[in-house]
Homo-oligomer: A and B are copies of this chain.
Amino acid sequence: MISKSKIKSITSLKQKKYREKHGLFVGEGPKVISELKQEGLEIHSFFSVNEEEFINENHFHVTQAELQKISFLKTANTSVAVFKMPEVKPVNNKGLTIVLDAVRDPGNLGTIIRLCDWFGVKQLICSTDTTDCYNPKVVQATMGSLARVAIHYVDIENYLKASSLPIYGAFMDGENVYRQKLQQDAIIVMGNEANGVSESIEKLITEKIAIPQFGNQRTESLNVATATAILLSEVRRFTEM
């Protein structure tokens, strides 16, 4: 059995303000939950339709219908876990860092977090108007990567002003990325889906780079997640030559 007040408090976590207020977020299904646990994230409460998973006072055995009431998925999986948000580590000024300037789409953010994890980028710095990484869609898409990449929400203008690393940004009129030797200790700034990098941030870019277009001139610009994939690959390829 699951009380109405518990249902209400869990479903409230769909909203960022309640996630922040309580320092909690939701992960669903055995794969996502076990990956986040494996990365050391602490479980606040756990709900499963499988009785064998009922192992302590914060674990609740529920029916599929009850699970559906607390699930954010159209069709609930077999379990839902409420996790405590991990403590945010201090910002690191070494290595490769991705900075997101107002990326809004949870699918794009999720893809970029997984790309950071793949390419060994340990730190992702997001403007405060970038979509929240504990948004349920992002959690389900990123799985363990969410816990392996340190994600910070900060005033990116101040962050960039204080940095002495090369700051790369993708711009149509930038230098051809294939003719550059990109640095491993650097910052790459990626902009908003519709408007790109904002003006105040553009001024702080030290090296504008471009991914050349090979097709029709009428083509839409590359999606922010695929552009991030290509730029990360371009940085890392130099370590493999």
Contacts and interface: CB of A to CB of B under 8 A. Distances in A.
Interface of A: 35, 38, 107, 111, 114-121, 143-145, 148, 176, 178-179, 211-216, 218-220, 222-223, 225-226, 229-230, 233-234, 236-237, 239-241
Contacts of A229: 222, 226, 229-230
Nearest to A176: B240
Contact of A114 (B117, B118, B223): B223
Contacts of A216: 117, 120, 148
Nearest to A116: B215
B226 A111 contact: yes
13 contacts: A114-B226, A115-B226, A117-B216, A117-B220, A121-B215, A144-B218, A148-B215, A148-B218, A148-B219, A178-B237, A226-B226, A226-B229, A230-B233
Task: Please tell me how many copies of the chain the complex holds.
Answer: 2
A78 B179 CA distance: 44
A178 B215 CA distance: 23
Contacts of A178: 237, 240-241
Given A115-B226, A225-B226, 8 more contacts: A111-B226, A114-B220, A117-B215, A117-B219, A120-B214, A178-B240, A178-B241, A212-B240
Given A178-B240, A178-B241, A240-B176, A120 B215 contact: yes
A236 B219 contact: no
Nearest to A240: B178
A179 B219 contact: no
Contact of A144 (B121, B219, B230): B219
B226 A144 contact: no
In the complex, the 5 A-B pairs of residues with the closest C-beta atoms, listed nearest first: A120-B214, A226-B229, A120-B215, A178-B237, A178-B240
B143 A220 contact: yes
A119 B233 CA distance: 16
Given A179-B241, A226-B111, A226-B225, A233 B211 contact: yes
Contacts of A35: 218
